[in-house]
Amino acid sequence: MTQRLYSLLAASILLLIIFASLIWLADADFFKSITAFFKGAFGGRKYAYLLVTISRAALITGMAIAALIAFRAGLFNIGGEGQLVIGGLASAFVAINLPFGGPAGIFLVLLAGMIAAGVWAMLAGIMKLWLGVPILVGTLLLNYPARYIASYFVSHPLRDIASGMPQTHLIEKSLWLPLLPGTRLDIGFIFILFIFCIVLIYCYRTVGGYEAKMTGLSIDFANASGLKTKKISLKTLALSGAIAGLVGAIAVLGIHHRFTDGMLVQPLYAWTGIVAALMVSLIPWAVLPAGFFFAAIHSGASGMERTADVPKEIAIIVQGMIILFVASKVPTAFNQNIGSGK
């Protein structure tokens, strides 16, 4: 434990040094940059930037939860990106074609995103059970068809030609996620908070969550104990995919109000979510602060670029360093069966 604390301390100091020297390289003032960073992440008029951070944090945390659920069941689902895109696309498709709006409409659109993405994630499970394709490979490869199916749909059948961009028509206003009164923050983050609570209960209190965890810790143990591991794996994948799909639907209904090609891929929501989940060693409650942390880095970086003239990429480099530090921890998160002692 103390050793872990030391390594955390060492990593933080190293990061700070790298950060400082990068700012020095960019020929900017260190303290001005830092202030700009914090203002960009948490400040702004009426806390406008903080709200941007929260909105982004919701998406990243959602993806982190999706990753966490699969990982703790021993399913290395790194296809969050594909599930996110499919969820977003399906919800945009339903939203455009839905004849009515309002809460019921929003509910239906969100549900459509969840179902589509859940089925997409289950494909990898089916490939595993019937064809023996490892989950890691299956989920990763399914990212590509997802991405290009979406590209095709928004460039051809669903394209809003007048806009001149590969994107769908704007969604009917009554289907937009409402804003918090007096702000520009939509209520998508509340959905994510709600899911977060549900997942906490799932992990700590439900039979399903318990059985998934046991399957993840040792599949032989689960099999010998009479758990239906195939069913558990499929269910867990579907759940993980459904949460990714919900994130996609929230991004469509809350932020963009349409599906634009690449809008869910470029910001790396899914991958950042995976890193966030791994960074906290798959501790369920900790994904919330982790998601917020990564969102803050991004908004802070934008703020730094605006006011202190420090390129945004510097923050991205720092984030990359964090990911590297985390990556060195990944093997232990997935190799829990190596025994020590008897």
Partner 1 sequence: MKAELHEISVKFGTFCAVNNVSLSFAPGEIHALVGENGAGKSTAMSVLFGLNTDYQGNIFINDQLRRWKSPADAISAGIGMVHQHFMLQETMSVLENVILCSEPVNKLGFVNFAAAAKTVQNLIDSYDLQIDQTQKVGELSVGQRQAVEILKLLYRRSEFLILDEPTAVLTPNEKEELFQSLSNFKASGKSIILITHKIDEVMMIADKVSVMRSGNLISSKLLKNTSKNEIQQNIIGGKLPKPIKRKQMHPKDIGFEMQKVIIPGLATGGKPISLKVYLGEIVGIAGVSGNGQGSLVEAIVGIRNILSGNMLLSNENISDQDVSARRKIGLSYIPEDRQSVGLALDASVLENSCVSQMRNKQFSNGYFFNLQHLFKFSEQLVSEYDIRVGSVKSKVRTMSGGNKQKLVVARELEQKKQLVIAENPTWGVDIGAINKIHQELIKMRDMGHAILLVSNEIEEIMGLSDRIHVMANGQLSESLNSDQVTANKLGELMLSRNEPALSEKLEMMRP
* CA–CA distance, 188 with 305 (Å, rounded to integer): 27
Of residues 83 and 233, the one with the C-beta less far from partner 1: 233
Q: Which residues bind partner 1 (CB under 8 A)?
A: 205-208, 210-211, 213-214, 217-218, 220-228, 336-337, 339-342
> What Cα–Cα distance (Å) separates residue 248 from each residue in 112, 171, 178, 182, 207?
11, 15, 17, 25, 28
> What is the smallest separation between the CB atom of 5 and partner 1, expressed in angstroms?
16
Of residues 137 and 170, the one with the C-beta less far from partner 1: 137
Of residues 115 and 222, the one with the C-beta less far from partner 1: 222
Under 8 Å between Cβ of 79 and 143: yes
> What is the smallest separation between the CB atom of 217 and partner 1, expressed in angstroms?
4
> What Cα–Cα distance (Å) separates residue 46 from each residue in 42, 183, 296, 304?
10, 8, 17, 19
The token duo for 291 is 């998601």
> What is the smallest separation between the CB atom of 138 and partner 1, expressed in angstroms?
18
> What is the smallest separation between the CB atom of 218 and partner 1, expressed in angstroms?
5
Of residues 163 and 225, the one with the C-beta less far from partner 1: 225
* CA–CA distance, 175 with 103 (Å, rounded to integer): 8
Of residues 132 and 181, the one with the C-beta less far from partner 1: 132
> What is the smallest separation between the CB atom of 73 and partner 1, expressed in angstroms?
12
Q: Which residues of 51-73 are buried (b: 16+ CB within 10 A; e: fewer)?
A: bbbbbbbbbbbbbbbbbbbbbbb
